[in-house]
Chain A
Amino acid sequence: MTTGELREPLTDQGRTAGDVLLDVSGLTVEFERRRQPPLRAVDDVGFRVRRGTVVGIVGESGSGKSMTANAIMRLLPSGGRIVSGEITFGGTPLLGLREEAMRQMRGKRIAMIFQNPMTSLNPAFTIGRQMTDMMVHHERLDRDAAMTRARELLQSVGIPAVDRQLAAYPHQLSGGMRQRVIIAMALSCRPDLLIADEPTTALDVTIQAQILELLDEIAADPARAIVFISHDFGVIARMCDEVVVMYRGKIVETGPVARVLSEPEHPYTRALLGAIPRPGQRGQRLATVEDQIGATQPLGARR
């Protein structure tokens, strides 16, 4: 169940794995339902994330990958609760923290990037204001220092004409630009762990490639780790050192990304890989997961 088997310092992507930053074990999340037994969205999930590595969580919609991320942040949608399990982050058991202490963790030590850059920024404030607010809040910086920092951050994520972007409102930026801004904001308090929930899904392919490249650079920091959630094996293969395959709330397979992709052990992983269209298959009907292992009945889609 753990990915700890990999002891070699050098990972599939040539990164150096450090000590364990995040240790999730036995995580189970349930949602209350009316006149029905609770829905088990995440079932006995466990994995480890070492510093300096990128761990991918892959699965279909409703497989529980986003809920796993939300559970780590302790930000489950209403009706959801963590029934059992442990989440240890940098030695601290997160589930034992008081809400106030957890709030200090969020944004400062664990940051999150969301799927849709078009709606992840507050439309009422300029980019500069949103970026500095966060630093003023968490790092107790003054406005000027925060603004300088924001400028540096935007430059580091490859945004041109930084001063103009700082004064702009979110609706004035393109999707790719916004996702860069969101990534810059996520990095602003130098978090140890970055959770990226489908960070490129809403972007077109060229922009997607640029954002992946940027995340790749961010992953180069040996002190940091990234949990990368995606339904796209191509993106997972490009980004991750290790991969966790989820199906109906459970982990079906886990291991170094090259191994899982080339010699999948579990039929579901094989089915998922079999459902990827390939050049040269032109004219043939694309095999779905259902074709290969029967109806899958996802437990429930994201909200």
Chain B
Amino acid sequence: MHGSLEVTPTVAVDAPAVSAESRLGEAWRRFAGDRLALIGLAIILVVTLAAIFAPLVAPDDPNFQYEGLRRAAPGVEGHLLGTDEVGRDILSRLIYGGRLSLFVSVTPTVIAAVIALLLGLVAGYAGGKTEQVIMRALDVFFAFPVVLLAILIAGVLGPGPRNQIIAIVFILVPYMARVVGTQVSSLRRQDFVEAARATGAGPVEIIGHELLPNVIGPLIVYATVLVGFMILVAAGLSFFGLGASPPASDWGYMVNTGKGTLSTSPHVVLMPSIMIVLVALAFTFVGDGLRNVLDPQGHAA
């Protein structure tokens, strides 16, 4: 186009667009193409459903202590995963414990995602001093190792699932807000935001209509992966006695109670540990699978 002064019109038709097929079907196909994601999803579904319908699914009362049947090996007298140090059915305790373990990892992630979305959108959209103040304040949290910070906060607040959740929200917000903030501040400079302004959109419409829909996908992906990580952190807190208090129990606490007999009856520790790892991995796999579906394609095309 730097050539002659005359531009000869040429007749050529642009390539027509691809498919207009149902978006959900397309999304599912992409997700299902990832076998690990499917396995992860299956694990999460099974564990979640079992936790919700624990009274129907669990073979035993999780708190009933079988006298004379302490630390029974898996399979003994119908206890599929054996019994723990006071003779309680481990499988039933895992199923019931899942309620608390999932609750204290998923809830704070959702709460943190909402807070981070607000902070990140405000910081990224406003830019300048506002962005600096919000982001630098969050940076303070990056100075501490995540798990240590969680233990510190939960320790200060005292044990219990509620404080466990608060501690996890605290450690998650800086990470998630940083993801949202950087996304938004790069989106804000893009032409389609400028174009929206040129069609008369105000700040509320820009944030709600141009920015939010483009950060929500990556945030969901990130949050899903983080749930997996938070399963570990929550278990860690419970292991240190900062989570569930007896008789209520979760997976982390089960590991704690079994640790004294690790050499003689390893299954008491092993069963909840496997559960923690399995579910944490499952969320990571699903997160990776969602990335293929939810990340906006616009930039890549």
Contacts and interface: CB of A to CB of B under 8 A. Distances in A.
Contacts of B160: none
Nearest to A112: B198
Interface of B: 1-20, 127-128, 189-192, 194-202, 205, 209-210, 213-214, 217, 296-301
Contacts of B189: 303
A295 interface: no
Interface string A211-248: 01100000000000000000011110110000000000
Contacts of B15: 174, 177
B17 A165 contact: yes
Interface stretch (A6-14, A33-41, A86-94, A113-121): A113-121
B199 A174 contact: no
Q: In which size bucket is the chain A interface?
A: 35 or more
Contact of A124 (B8, B200, B201, B213): B213
Contacts of B14: 174, 176-177, 180, 207
Classify the secondary structure of B's interface with A.
Answer: loop
Interface in A11-58: none
A123 B3 CA distance: 33
Interface string A161-188: 1011111111111101100101001000
Contacts of B202: 103
Contacts, number: 153
Interface of A: 73, 75, 78, 103-108, 111-112, 114-116, 118-125, 133-134, 137-138, 160-161, 163-174, 176-177, 180, 182, 185, 200-201, 205-210, 212-213, 232-235, 237-238, 261, 276-279, 303
B5 A237 contact: yes
A123 B296 contact: yes
Contact of A234 (B7, B16, B127): B7
Contacts of B17: 161, 164-165, 168, 172-174, 177
A234 B3 contact: yes
9 nearest CB pairs, A to B: A123-B298, A107-B199, A171-B301, A167-B20, A124-B213, A106-B200, A112-B198, A103-B200, A119-B191
A53 to B, nearest CB: 19
Contacts of B12: 206-207, 210
B200 A105 contact: yes
A114 B195 contact: yes
A171 B298 CA distance: 5
